[in-house]
Structure 1
Amino acid sequence: MTPFASALLDWFDRHGRHDLPWKHPRDAYRVWLSEIMLQQTQVATVIPYFQRFVTQLPTLHDLAAADEDTVLALWSGLGYYRRARFLHRAAQVCIEQHNGELPREFDALAALPGIGRSTAGAILAQAYELRFPILDGNVKRVLTRYHGIAGYPGEREIEKQLWLHADAHTPAERAADYTQAIMDLGATLCVRTRPLCAMCPVRSDCVAHHDNLTAQLPTPKPGKAIPSRSTIMLILRNADGQVLLQRRGAQGVWSGLWSLPEADDTDNAWREAQRHARIDDAQPLTPFVHVFSHYRLQIQPLLFDAAAPAHAIADNADLRWCAIADLPALGLPAPVRSLLMALPEPAAP
C-alpha cells in the first residue's frame, strides 16, 4: 500500500462520510444508482433524490419494469436527464442479458449504457470490494495537485497520466473504503477554490501544496464564450386550469421530457398557440434565464388563459392537457416545473 493510500485510509476512518444513505445497506443497485446521480452533482443535492428514488423503485427489477415517465419524474430537477434514460435502459439490459443483476465483470459492466471506466470501477470497488481505480472529477483534482501535473485533465495525455497514478495508489485491501476516501477528500478538503490544505492527510507530499500551486491546479479547461439562445414558452391554460404539455423529441436538451410548446418569436408563438387552442389574448410573464453547460437559454413565458382546445388530442402521445396537481408524476425540466407551479391565478370571468 502506498503512503498516499495509507494516510488517506487513516483519515477516512476518522473523518470520512460513513453515513451516506447508499451505504446502508450497500448493495450493487444502490451503489450504481448513487454513482450515476453523483456524476456532475454534489452529494447534498443527490441525497433527497436518491432516497425518493429507492423508496419508489427499491430494486433493479423495479427500475427495469417502470415506465420512462416514472423514472424521469423521479429524476426531475437533477438535470443531465440522459443519465436517467441510460440508467433505465441499463436496468432493462441487466434483465435481458445478465440474469437481472449488475455484472461483476468489468467489461460487461462498462458496456452498459451510462457506465464508463471510472463509474464501473467505483461500482465494483464499493459493491464487491474488487480492486479497480476510479478517476472522477474529485479524484482528478486530488491527483493533479498531489503529483503536480499541469495541463487540462480532460486532455488525453494528461488523463492517461492520471489513470496511471490512480491505479498505482489503489490498494488491494479495503478497495471500497479507499474509493470512498479519495472521493471524500476531493469533495470536502481538496475542493476547487480555497482547499483546506491544513487539514489534508497527504499534504506533506503534495506538490501543489509545497509549491503554492493549489490555485493553478488543476489547469482550467481552455475557455470559450458561452452562447445565448432565446425562446418563447407557450402556456396554454384551459377553463379547467389544465395546461398543455408537449413531449420533447429524442434529440437536444430535455429530450423525452414533458415541457411546453415553444416558438422563436411572437408571431410564431401565436400561430403555434392557435394550432392547439382557440385563444383571445396573451399575457407575457416575467422572463428568466436557464444556464446549461454549453449555452444560456433566455426564456419568455407567454400565458394564454381560458384556451379552448381546438381539437381532441387523446390519440397524440406527445401532447396532453395536465392539471397542475398532476405535474409531480411527470418528468418535466426543473425550470418548466417551477414556472408552472408559480402561475398566477386565472382572472375572474
Structure 2
Amino acid sequence: MKFRLKLIILVVICAIVSIACLGIGRYEYDIFTPFEVIWANLMNLALEDEMIEIVIFDIRLPRICLALLVGASLSLSGAVFQNLFSNPLATPDTLGVASGASFGAVLAILLNLSSFYIQIFAIFFGILALIITYKVSIIKDSADRVTIILSGIIISAIFSALVSLCKYVADAQDVLPTITFWLLGSLSSASFKAILLSLPFILIAGVIIVLLRWKLNILSLSDDEIKSLGINLKAYQLIFIVFASMLTASSVAICGQVGWIGLLAPHIARMIFGQNSLYLIPSSIFMGALMLLIVDTFARSVSYAEIPVSILSAIIGAPLFIYLLRKRGGI
C-alpha cells in the first residue's frame, strides 16, 4: 500500500477517534450530541441542557486537542532522536530536557506561581538543560553522539535530584500532592489558553523538522560517511536537537511528564511505514497523537478517580513494546 494512502487512513482514524472521544466520559450522551451542540451554536439556537455545552467546549474538546498536540510532539521528538542517534531506545528525554522542564514546573509550583508561569519556567529550564548538555558534551571543539547521550543522562540525573529536593522541602499538606500529581502527567487542566501558550513553539519546531526530515536519513549514517558526503554534521545535529528538545519542553510544560509515547509511537510507525524519514516523521506525528488520545480517554473514563496518564501509558506501553520486540525478533 502506498505511503499517502496509509497516511490518509491514519489521519481518518485520528479524526474518527477524536469525534468518538467527545462522547466518552462519566457525563454520558450519544455520539451525535456534539454535532447538535455545534450546530446550535452556529445557528444561535438555545440548548435544552446547557451542561452539555460546558462539558464539550470547556472540558472535553480542549483535552482532546491537547492530547493530540502533546502526543504528536512527543512522538515526533522521539522519532528524531531515534534516527539522529541511531538508537532505538532514544526518547524525548534523552538529553535531559524533560527533567529540566519538570524541575522548572516544580519550582514554579513550589513558589506558588500561576499556571502561566509554570509553563514559562518549564520551557525555560528545559531549554537550559539542553544548553548545559550540549556544552558538557563538547570535547576539543566537537561532540560525538555517544558523548551527547551520556551528557544528557548526567544532566537528567542532576535535574531529577533537584526535583526530589523540591519535593523534600515542599509542604506535605498542600504543595507536595500538587507536585506529585503534576509529575505523573495529567491532561486534566487542559484549556485553550494553556494550549495557545505552547502552540507557537510546537508549530515552529514541528514545521522545521518536517521540512528538513530528509536530512535525518543522512544523519543516521556514521560520522565518517556523513563528512564524506560534505554534510555539516554539527550544524544539522544542532538544528534537530534544538527543535526536538523544544517539542519536549513545550509538551512537558503543559501536562507534565508523559512516558512511553515518545518511545513506542515511532516504533509502531516504523513497522507500518518503514525506516525512511520522509515517511516516518509525518506518520509518527499522527501515530503519537492517536496513542495519547486513546490513553488519556481511558485515563479519564475507566474509573471514577482519574488515573495519571504516565501510569496508564506504562501499563499499556510496556507489554505492547515487549510484543513488538518479539514480533521483530529484537529492536
Task: Name the TM-score, length of structure 1 as normaliser.
Answer: 0.26
User: Relative contact order, CA 8 A, sep 6+: which one is greater?
Assistant: 2
Higher CA-based Rg = 1
Q: Of Structure 1 and Structure 2, which has the larger fraction of its residues in strand?
A: 1
Task: Name the TM-score, length of structure 2 as normaliser.
Answer: 0.27
Q: Of Structure 1 and Structure 2, which has the larger fraction of its residues in helix?
A: 2
